Amino acid sequence: MRYPISARQSGFSTLPIVLILLFMLTAISLYSSMASVTEQRISSNETRALVALHAADSGMERVMASMRDQAYVQTSTLLKDANNDGCIDAASKDSVANRCVPNQIISDSVPPGLTNPVHSFGASLVNPNPYDYSELQIVSVGCTDACSCATISSTTRTNCPVHKSIRQSLLSIRPVNDPPQLPAINGLAPALVTLGNTSLSGNVRLNTTSGDISLMTGGSVTFGNAAPILVSQRGTESPAETPPGSGIFQLPVNQVVMDSGVGLGSGNSFFLRFIGNGFAAGQSNQAAKILNTVKVLGTSIDCQTTTCTDSSLTAALGRHQVVVVEGTLNLSSATTWGTSTKPIMLIVIGDLQIASTTAINGIVYVRPVSGAWTTPNGGSLTVNGRLAVEGQFTSNGGLNVTADANIAAALAKIMMIERVPGSWEEL
């Protein structure tokens, strides 16, 4: 029996269709396999990148911890500008761009201490703008796959394909300079420092330790005779009354340093000799910013329209041991503020009125708005630490200031740090 030609040829038309379908299925299978492998690689790369990011974050946190470590702050050059080029010693100066650029300061494995680490970081600290030491940035690089982030240079980025770089801006200040940056006295710490003329009357004691001086002033010193003036040198009373019977005990020559005002500088540079990270006081244009940073990171009281009292200071010290008062603060109760183990830093931009028996363990800095400050206003003031007056100073009795190096050193260890909100970024 003979079939029609069309029937005999139908098998030949079906075969190409089957082959095409088989090819398509094979291609789909291969694509699925390749996509699966690609997804696994992407997932692996994302995981490694995430690990590198965490390693970079570890470096940032390590720098933050070092900045908060009091012993480290005291001994490290991390926050110093030894050559006064405007950049902290943890950074270097790019003179062409007039910027500070980061150098390596800390590197380690994650977790720390491993001999052959898989993950590591390299971190640095920099103040981008020269002579602005209150705004800092941490730059940290994290690496994985046993690639070392021992440096934060471009070489690391080339040699370590999987790495992450992050940056965090900080607002930072070490509010107390110890010893204060005072000229001509070779790092000694006076009990009382005044920028203007100084008049001492009544019962005044300025107590110093061995080698230190009692008083440094940018003006002249006059003595009244309403009551004996006692000035203690190295724990002993000063020489006898001069003249005899006058009730006036003159300061020994080597206990008084008088300056023309050029060395102590203007109000802003005088301020920076006591407050603000311990850098050169010559950058007087930074004084307002330093003061504002201390207000932000410490605590402040606005007493410009209403006189503040003891309760205002109590509330402020409950928040921080560094307090800035703007306006008039009247202390009228017999109170001791601060302790030898937790002293306070009291900055008064205005008038400090002492109407009772007041003792302060810490450093007191007064910037009288009128340019002159008179104390104790009917009470008595004892300061264990240091007293600085940015202007003329008159004591009408009841003043006892002891230059306590331990209290000053304790305050100098305070490091106030705060992350700038929204400044974290991946580079």
Could you report the per-residue pLDDT of 302-318, keeping only the tens digit for each?
Answer: 999 999 999 999 999 99
Q: pLDDT for 198-213, tens place per residue?
A: 888 777 888 876 556 7
**pTM across the whole model:** 0.76
What string of DSSP letters covers 335-404?
EEES-SSS-EEEEEEEEEEE-SEEEEEEEEEEE-TTSEEEE-TTSEEEEEEEEEESSEEEE-S-EEEEE-
Instruction: Summarize pLDDT for 137-184 with one digit per residue, the tens.
Output: 888 888 887 777 766 565 555 677 778 888 999 888 777 877 777 766
pLDDT bin (cut points 50, 70, 90) of residue 11 is low
Name the most confidently modeled range: 18-22, 59-63, 85-89: 59-63
* Residue 84, pLDDT score: 77
What pLDDT is stored for residue 350 in this prediction?
A: 93
Q: Between these two residues, 79 and 380, which has the higher pLDDT value?
A: 380
User: 194 has which bridge partners?
Assistant: 217, 389
Which of 66, 58, 57, 67 lies closest to 297 in space, CA to CA? 67
Q: pLDDT over 90 for what percent of the chain?
A: 17
- With contact defined as beta carbons under 8 Å apart, do 135 and 418 qualify? no
pLDDT of residue 343: 92
Give CA–CA dist 115/109, Å, rounded: 8
Domain locations in the chain as residue ranges? 54-173, 192-412
Of 9-23, 80-94, 113-127, the range with the lowest mean pLDDT is: 9-23
pLDDT digits (tens, 9 = 90+) for 377-418: 778 899 999 999 999 999 887 888 988 888 888 887 787 888
Pairing of strands 135-143, 163-173: antiparallel
Q: What are the pLDDT digits (tens) for 60-75?
A: 888 888 777 755 555 5
Q: Which candidate, 226, 171, 247, 217, places its Cα nearest to that of 419?
A: 171
Distances (CA, A) of 151 to 59, 125, 148, 160: 12, 13, 8, 11
Instruction: Judge whether residue 237 has pLDDT over 80.
Output: no
Residue 234: pLDDT band with limits 50, 70, 90: very low
Give the span between the Cα atoms of 126 and 262, in whole angstroms: 32
Residue 253 backbone phi and psi in degrees, to 5: -55, -40
pLDDT in tens, 91-145: 888 888 888 888 777 777 766 666 666 777 888 888 888 888 788 888 888 888 7
Mind listing the pLDDT tens digit for each residue in 288-346? Answer: 888 888 888 888 999 999 999 999 999 999 989 999 999 999 999 999 999 988 999 99
